[in-house]
Amino acid sequence: MSSSLPPLNELSVQINKLLEPFGISQQDFMAQFGNFFDPFGLFSEKSEAVAKNLLQSVDPFGITQSYLDVQRAWLNHPKELSDCLLQLSKDSWAIQLQTWERFSGFLVQDSIPVNEYDERFQEPEWTENPYLDTIKEIYLLYTRWIEDSIYKTPDLPEKTRDKAGFWMRQVLNAISPSNYFWTNPVAVQRFVETGGESLLKGLKNFIIDSKYKTIRMVDNTAFTVGGNLANTVGSVVYRSPLFELIQYKPVTANVHQVPLLIVPPWINKFYVLDLGEQKSFVHWLVAQGYTVFLISWKNPTAEMRHTSLDDYMLKGVLEAANIAKQITNAPHVHAVGYCIGGIILTALMAWLDADDIQGDITSPIQSWSLFTTLVDFSNPGEIKIFIDEETIKYIEELMSEHGYLPGSNLADSFRMLRSNSLIWHYYVHNYLYGEDLPQFDVLAWNMDSTRLPEAMHSFYLREFYLHNKFMQPKGITLGGRSLDVRKISQPLYAVGTEQDHIAPWKETFKICGLVKSPVRYVLATSGHILGIISPPVNPPKRRYWVGDATGQSDAEAWVAATPKVPGSWWEDWDKWLGQHCGEMVVAPSVGNQNYPALCPAPGTYVLEK
C-alpha cells in the first residue's frame, strides 16, 4: 500500500537488522506474524490482502481505509501539509492570547466564532466564563481544522473525501464539550437548582432508552395510531400480502370523478400523511371534494425476503390503481407518489408507456404527482455517504441473516446525517438536563420505523443508487419491460423542498427535463417532511415557488425566473388537480360488492411492529 514512503522503508531496514541474527527473513516473519505486526499490509502483498479482508470484517464501511487514504495524500504533498500545520499553529497562538486576555478580565472577540445555528454554544457562559471559553475555542479550532483539512486534501477522490469527512464529523460531534456534564454549563446549573433531581431524572431516561436501544426523540406514549394519529374516517377495502388499500369516506355530497391514489414510501408508515385533523393531508383532500385511496404497506417479515421491486410496482401500485378505478367506476385515477413511493410510481409510468407493450393497453393513470422524488441518483444528497460497494455488501450480509433490513438500521443512518440535532441534542436534553421528552407528532411517526425486504432493497440500492441505471434508457428492467422515463407523457405535478437533504430539490427538478409530460413544478420552503405537510393557515407560515417547468433542466434559472408565493402549495395543487380529475359527480360508496369494507381505517398493517 504505502511501501514507497521513506519512513516505512527505514522501518523495514530496521526490522531486517533485528531478524538477521536469528536467520529469519522479513518475508517469512511477516508470513507468520503479519496479521499481528502489520495489520495494514505495509510490507507484503499477501499480508495486504489478508489485512484488507480483516478490515472489511471489522470496518464494513471502509472508514479506516478512507482515513489512510487522506493521510497518504497529505504525506505526498509535504509543502501543502506544512502550510496547513503552520496555519494551525498561528490559530493556536491566537487562542492562547485570547485566553490570557480573558483570564485578565478583558472581554475580547472570539478567535474562532460560533456558528449562529450551532445551538451547543449559545449560552452566555461559553463566552463569559474563561475556562469554558478556552475549552470551546480549542474544540472549534481543532474540529474545523480537521474537517477543513480532509476536504482540502490534494489529489483525493471526492467519494473518499466525503466518506472520511462524514465519519470524522461523527467522532468530532460526539466529543463536543457540550456532551459532558462538567463542561456543560446548563447541565451543572440545573443540577444545582434542582438539588440533583435533573441528573437523577436523566439517569431514569437513560435506563428507559436502554430498553428501546436508542436515544428517544419523542414521548411516543402520547400518540396512538387510530386515535390522535391516522384518524381520518375510512375503511380498508382490499388486503393482499403486500398492502392494504384504504378508501376514505367522502365528506362532500359531490366529488371529482377521478379518484386519487396515494403511494407513500414503504421506508416509513403512511400516516405521516394523516397526522390528525389539523395537519392531515388526507383529511384536507377529502374536504376539497376528492375520493382518496391510500396504500398502507405491510411491514415486511422474514417470509417476504424475496419480495421484489417488481412486486411493489405491479402487485402494489398497479393493482391498487385498478381496484380504485373499479370501485369508483372512473375512467382512470390520479396517482400521487411520495419519496420512494414516487420512484416506484415513476417506474410504473415508464412501464405503462414502454415501447415493448404487447397489444392496446389503456393506462389506468392519466395524470400524476410526485413529492420529493429522485429519478437521477448521480447526486442523491447526503445519503450518498452510505452508497458504495463496501457498504452495500455489508447491508446485504445483514439482510441475509433476517431476510430484511431492520427499521432501526435505516433510522439510525438518517439520524447520523444530522447527528448534532438528531442524536446529541436528545442525548444532552434527555440525560444531562433530565428533561421530559417532547410530544411532537412528526417525531412520533419518525420513530415508528419499518423493515425493508432483502431482494427489493438490494436491487434498489445497487441499480438505482449505486449504478444510477434508472437514468440510462432501458437501463432498468421491471415486470419484463425495459424502462425509459423519457417515454412518459402524462401530465405531471412535481414538488421539491428547499432544505431537503434526502432528495435535494435541484435533483428532483431534473425530471422536468426528462419526461415528455407537461410539468408544473413547485419548490416549497422547509424540508423533506414539513415542506410536504404544509396545510394552509392564516397568516401563512410557508412560501413556495411554482410555475411551468416543461422540458426545463436548469433548476437555478427556473427558480430565478419564478415568483415566490406566500401560503401553502396545497392550494395551487388543488387548482391543478381540478383540471385533471374531471367533473363533479355524486360521491361513491366506500367499497363495493367485489371489494367490501374489511375493517375501519387505518387498518391492521400500520399497527404491525
In Å, how far are 26, 139, 201, 454, 572 from 183, measured between CA atoms? 50, 12, 19, 44, 50
**Does residue 277 sit within a domain?**
yes
Same domain flag for 374 and 289? yes
Q: Which residues are paired to 404 by β-bridges?
A: 453
As a whole number of Å, the end-to-end CA separation of the chain is: 47
Segment among 46-50, 128-132, 398-402 with least mean pLDDT: 46-50
Residue 492 and residue 511 in contact, taking contact as beta carbons nearer than 8 Å: yes
pLDDT score at 40: 40
The DSSP letter of residue 52 is H
Cα pseudo-dihedral 539, 544, 547, 550, rounded to 10: -150
Query: Is the per-residue pLDDT at 362 higher than 80?
Result: no
CB count, 10 Å around CB of 585? 15
- Is 33 domain-assigned? yes
DSSP-H helix ranges across 153-275 = 158-174, 185-193, 197-212
Alpha carbon 151 to its chain centroid, in Å, reads 22
Domain-embedded: residue 436: no
Positive or negative torsion for Cα 322, 492, 576, 582: negative
85 and 141 housed in the same domain: yes
Q: pLDDT tens across 158-207, in order?
A: 999 999 999 999 999 999 999 999 999 999 999 999 999 999 999 999 99
Question: Per-residue pLDDT tens for 304-359?
Answer: 999 999 999 999 999 999 999 999 999 999 999 999 999 999 999 999 998 755 44
- pLDDT score, position 412: 87
pLDDT, tens only, 408-422: 888 888 899 889 999
The whole-number pLDDT of residue 56 equals 57
Confirm whether 553 is domain-assigned.
yes
Residue 160 and residue 37 share a domain: no
CA distances (Å), 260 to each of 199, 288, 325, 328, 578, in order?
Answer: 51, 12, 10, 11, 12
Q: Are residues 97 and 42 in the same domain?
A: no
**Considering 84, 339, 512, 599, which one is annotated as catalytic?**
339
Residue after which a domain boundary falls, among 164, 179, 194: 179
DSSP state of 501: S
What count of other Cβ atoms lies within 10 Å of the Cβ of residue 209?
17
| CATH number of the structural domain spanning residue 527 | 3.40.50.1820
Give the long-range contacts of residues 227-230, CB within 8 A, separation 24 or more: 228/276, 228/441, 229/271, 229/274, 229/275, 229/276, 229/441, 229/444, 229/445, 230/270, 230/271, 230/274, 230/275, 230/601, 230/602, 230/606
State whether 156 and 88 are in the same domain: yes
Cell numbers given for 528: 423533506
Q: How long a stretch of residues is the chain?
A: 609
Confidence grade of residue 35 (pLDDT, cut at 50, 70, 90): very low
Q: What is the pLDDT of residue 539?
A: 85
Contacts of 122 (CB under 8 A, 6+ apart): 114
Check residue 18 and give its pLDDT.
Answer: 52
With respect to residue 11, please indicate whether it lies within any of the assigned structural domains: yes
For residue 27, tell me if it sits in a domain. Answer: yes
Same domain, residue pair 156 and 11: no
DSSP SS3 for 140:
helix
Inter-CA distances, 204 with 183, 201, 431, 447, Å = 21, 5, 8, 20
How many structural domains does the chain have?
3
pLDDT for residue 8 is more than 70: no
427 in a domain, yes or no? no
Residue labelled with grid coordinates 483570564 = 103
**Residue 72 — very low, low, confident or very high, per pLDDT cuts 50/70/90?**
very high
**Does 17 score more than 80 pLDDT?**
no
- Last residue in a domain, options 54, 70, 93: 54
Give yes or no for a cis peptide into 518 (omega within 30° of 0).
no
Mean pLDDT of 272-293: 96
Residue 356: predicted pLDDT: 56
The answer on 93 and 45 residing in a single domain is no
Predicted structure pTM score = 0.86
* Strand intervals (E) in 386-536: 404-405, 452-453, 476-478, 481-483, 492-497, 519-524
Euclidean distance between CA atoms 497 and 513, whole angstroms = 18
Q: Is 512 a catalytic residue?
A: no
Are residues 122 and 18 part of one domain?
no
Same domain, 538 and 497: yes
pLDDT of 41 reads 42
292 lies in the same domain as 353? yes
Which domain, by its residues, includes 42? 6-54
Rounded to whole angstroms, how far apart are CA atoms 204 and 215? 13
The percentage of the chain sitting over the pLDDT mark of 70, rounded to a whole number, equals 89
Task: Give the burial string for 450-463 (b: 16+ CB within 10 Å, else e).
Answer: bbbbbbbbbebbeb
Structural domain includes residue 520: yes
Highest mean pLDDT: which range of 39-48, 347-356, 528-537: 528-537
**Closest C-alpha among 297, 284, 371, 309 to residue 335:** 371
pLDDT in tens, 545-580: 999 999 999 999 999 999 999 999 999 999 999 999
Select from 446, 374, 460 the least CA-distant residue to 413: 446
Q: Minimal CA–CA distance to 65: which of 163, 155, 138, 152?
A: 163
Instruction: Note whether 46 and 82 are same-domain residues.
Output: no
DSSP output for 386-409: G-SHHHHHHHHHHHHHHSEE-HHH
Hey, how many other C-beta atoms are within 10 angstroms of the C-beta on 553? 13
Q: Given 179, 200, 219, which residue is the final one in a domain? A: 179
- Average pLDDT, stretch 248-272? 96
Q: Within 10 A of 228 (CB to CB), how many other CB atoms are there?
A: 14
* Mean pLDDT across the chain: 89
Same domain, yes or no, for 115 and 257? no
